[in-house]
Copies of this chain bind each other. A is one copy, B any other.
Amino acid sequence: MIAVGVYGATGYAGHQLVQILLAHPDVNLKFITSRSYAGRRLSDVYPCFCDLALIAAEDAPLRDIDVAFLCLPHGASMETVSKVWEAGVKGIDLSADFRLRSAVNYQHWYKKEHTAPALLSKSVYGLTEVYRDQIERAQLVANPGCYPTGVLLALYPAASQGLLSEKHIIVDAKSGVSGAGRSLKLTTHFVEANDNFSPYSVGHAHRHISEMEQELEGFSGQDYQITFSPHLVPVNNGILSTIYVTASVDRDELLDLYSQTYADAPFVRVLEDDRLPSLRHAVGTNRCVISITQVDDEGHFIIISAIDNLIKGASGQAVQNMNVMFGLDEQTGLEA
């Protein structure tokens, strides 16, 4: 049994993570922390019947666990990750704090100085299907952002084979409202988000661009520039990304490449017939569902991917990474 602690269990990703961990056959959940709700039970915070006690992070018995999951806000996570590292405990960080390899880049995008830059080179970017080997040996995994997970899995096979011939890639992404977090704001008030559909931070503005561009360069050795348009969909969960690329091959070649690349990836589903992914294909699961549509004979393609933002885009992929780090079957506790 793996002894596990969760820091920050009352946000949407943290709560989803706790649900997965409680059903995981090889996990012993030792503690869950909360800044706002320490002293309460999880059932005081969500309409559920889980009476686990929430404790303050300071009171968490860090040394009793094998692995810590950190579901803290970026900026706040760095400090706790450092303590986890120093305690010799494995860490899976769901914040953005250890995703970028460069502290300068981090400061540019997140407007904060990085206080643990030495750990940046120690952390492995936790896109399981791509970095499985490094994750096996990692002490610290930086779990990818929700948008980058779906986008990078949709681009990795083509990018890593050097097939993406146009440096500008357009990502038109649509996310459910849980992606905006549980903290209270007018944009996520029911009356404002319901019956609505709205773009935000479009252009070259959203922080997740930094991850996507870094990884695409890592895959391919080339510079790409992502034009990124996120939108809010009036559903709770899910991200659908419609991606516009240029590639000098045809659809069958791409489908072959994608199918081979992901042949051993149980959570990636490439649609080889004419179906297109919808949120329903992915929500409630750890899957990433991908389609490829050829637009014309000039190399224009639309690649669409769908994930559950809280599962494959956060807590599910985090558990998948834990499974890899501890030598378990990647699917353990995530099959449903």
Contacts and interface: CB of A to CB of B under 8 A. Distances in A.
Contacts of A174: 174, 197, 231
Interface of A: 12, 23, 47-49, 168, 170, 172, 174, 177-178, 182, 184-186, 188-200, 202-204, 225, 227, 229, 231, 233-236, 238, 240, 242, 244, 269, 276-281, 283, 287, 293-296, 298, 300, 302, 304, 335-336
A293 B203 contact: yes
Contacts of A235: 194-197, 234
Contacts of A12: 191
A279 B195 contact: yes
A229 B193 contact: no
A225 B188 CA distance: 37
B168 A281 contact: no
B227 A195 contact: no
A198 B276 contact: yes
A227 B193 contact: no
Given A48-B281, A199-B242, A225-B296, 20 more contacts: A49-B269, A177-B191, A178-B191, A182-B189, A194-B234, A194-B236, A195-B235, A196-B279, A196-B280, A197-B240, A198-B279, A199-B276, A199-B278, A202-B276, A202-B302, A203-B295, A227-B244, A227-B295, A234-B234, A244-B244
A234 B236 contact: no
A48 B192 CA distance: 12
How many copies of this chain does the complex contain? 4
14 contacts: A47-B280, A49-B287, A168-B298, A172-B229, A182-B186, A184-B186, A188-B189, A190-B234, A192-B280, A195-B236, A198-B280, A204-B295, A227-B300, A336-B336
Contacts of A184: 184-186, 189
A278 B200 CA distance: 9
A238 B335 CA distance: 25
A254 B293 CA distance: 32
Nearest to A244: B170
A199 B304 contact: yes
Contacts of A192: 190, 280
A241 B289 CA distance: 24
Pick the 8 closest A-B CB pairs, nearest first: A198-B278, A184-B184, A172-B172, A47-B280, A190-B193, A177-B190, A203-B295, A190-B190
